[in-house]
């Protein structure tokens, strides 16, 4: 059984709840050659009618030609084990790269990636529509080595409907669900921190990247594009 620890169902229009969310600002490519500048502008992230909207625009901003937003719960809400649910509708178009993912607080305190670990609950690139990627990254298993635990799932509804992305995480395993259906489960078989660093507090990240090494060619005709989230819920085991 699980008990609800915190949630955001975006009931109040305007800025995202500052008790839960903070903006990560910058335009340096974030290690992926991404094209956007993440701002803290109301134009790029706002709540309206029960939905968090993360909107990317084609516009010149500092050294970048696109703007978007990246929200995190760092130093606001940490998560270690339990069940996390995010309901989201994904943007359409080549060059979009929305993600729902987790990094540990330790990365902000000097522990390098990928030793620190990374959990990807949902990644989608617009050049390959309807395809959801679930992945884990560690020092021994990551996308640079091309050996990360990963699973790919296709569903035609993800661009037109709010779908439920769910993570169930404990000491022994991490499992990914889509609309209540199990998609993949990765086991902690080693006890080795270089293979399984998922025994520490993580924070949630929701962002819409544009372009980059994986996002690829950008279709400028699609803008503005909107990544929408209707609910975030975090549970602990009773």
pLDDT in tens, 140-157: 999 999 999 999 999 999
Q: Note the Cα 146 to chain centre separation in Å.
A: 20
> Does some domain include residue 211?
yes
- Domain range for 165 is 2-6+40-237
**Domain count within the chain:** 1
pTM of the predicted protein model: 0.97
How far is it, in rounded angstroms, from Cα 234 to Cα 124? Answer: 22
pLDDT (tens digit per residue) in 83-109: 999 999 999 999 999 999 999 999 988
Confidence of residue 44 (pLDDT cuts 50, 70, 90): very high
Active site (catalytic) residues: 118, 123
Largest Cα span, the chain:
49
Q: Tell me the pLDDT of the chain averaged across its residues.
A: 97
Q: What percent of the chain has pLDDT over 90?
A: 96
Residue 101: inside a domain: yes
Query: 130 — alpha (psi -120 to 50), left (phi > 0) or beta?
Result: left
Task: Say which residues have a Cβ less than 8 Å from residue 234's Cβ, sequence separation at least 6.
Answer: 4, 5, 6, 7, 77, 79, 82, 83, 84, 85, 204
**pLDDT for 152:** 98
In a domain, 86, yes or no: yes
Work out the pLDDT band at 193, boundaries 50, 70, 90.
very high
Q: Is residue 49 domain-resident?
A: yes
Give tens-digit pLDDT for 162-190.
Answer: 999 999 999 999 999 999 999 999 999 88
pLDDT band at 37 (very low <50, low <70, confident <90, very high): very high
Does residue 177 lie within any of the structural domains? yes
For residue 226, what pLDDT band results from cuts at 50, 70 and 90? very high
Question: Any idea what the CATH number is for the domain that residue 209 is in?
Answer: 2.60.120.200
Res 110 pLDDT > 90:
no
Grouping H, G, I as helix, E, B as strand and the rest as coil, residue 17 is coil
Q: Is the pLDDT of residue 191 over 80?
A: no
193 domain residue, yes or no? yes
User: Residue 12 domain-assigned?
Assistant: no
Whole-number Å distance between alpha carbons of 192 and 53? 39
Residue 33 maps to a domain: no
């Amino acid at each position: 059984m699980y008990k609800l620890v915190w949630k955001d169902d975006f009931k109040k229009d305007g800025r995202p709840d500052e008790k839960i969310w903070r903006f990560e600002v910058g335009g340096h490519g974030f290690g992926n050659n991404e094209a956007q500048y993440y701002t803290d502008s109301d134009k790029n992230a706002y709540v309206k009618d029960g939905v968090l909207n993360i909107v990317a625009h084609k516009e010149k901003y500092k050294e970048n030609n696109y703007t978007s937003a990246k929200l995190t719960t760092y130093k606001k809400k940490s998560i270690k084990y339990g069940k996390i649910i995010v309901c989201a509708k994904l943007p359409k178009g080549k060059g979009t790269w929305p993600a729902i993912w987790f990094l540990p607080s330790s990365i902000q305190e000097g522990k390098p990636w990928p030793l620190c670990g990374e959990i990807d609950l949902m990644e989608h690139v617009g050049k390959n529509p309807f395809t959801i990627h679930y992945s884990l990254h560690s020092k021994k298993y990551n996308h640079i080595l091309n050996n990360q635990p990963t699973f790919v799932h296709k569903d035609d509804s993800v661009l037109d409907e709010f779908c439920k992305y769910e993570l169930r995480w404990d000491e022994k395993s991490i499992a990914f669900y889509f609309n209540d259906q199990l998609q993949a489960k990765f086991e902690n078989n080693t006890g080795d921190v270089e293979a399984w660093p998922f025994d520490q507090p993580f924070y949630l990240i929701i962002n819409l990247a544009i372009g980059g090494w994986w996002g690829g060619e950008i279709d400028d005709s699609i803008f503005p594009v909107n990544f929408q989230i209707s609910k975030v819920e975090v549970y602990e085991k009773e």
